Chain A
Amino acid sequence: MPHDGHDHDDHSELSPIALRVRALESLLVEKGYVDPAALDVLIDTYETKIGPRNGAKVVARAWTDPAYAKWLKEDATAAIESLGYTGRQGEHMVALFNTPEIHNMVVCTLCSCYPWPVLGLPPVWYKSPPYRSRAVIDPRGVLAEFGVTLPETTKVSVWDSTAEIRYLVIPMRPANTEGLSEDELAGLVNRDSMIGTRLAGKVA
Chain B
Amino acid sequence: MAMTLTLSDSAAQGTQDAPRRRPAPVGAHVAIKGLSHAYRRHDGKVLDGIDFEIKAGEVVALLGRSGCGKSTLLHMLSGLTHPSEGEVVINGNTIREPSPKWVMMFQAPSLFPWMTVAQNAALGLKFTRRNDQIAKRIPEILDLVDLGAFADRNAQELSGGQQQRVALARSLAPKPEMLLLDEPFSALDAFTRRNLQRDVRQIARDLGLTLVLVTHDVGEAVRMADRVIVLKANPGRVFEDTVITLSEEERSGGSDEFQAEHSRLMNIYSQAADAPGEATETTNDFTQI
The judgment on whether A and B are partners is no
Chain B residues proximal to chain A, CB less than 8 Å = none
Chain A residues proximal to chain B, CB less than 8 Å = none
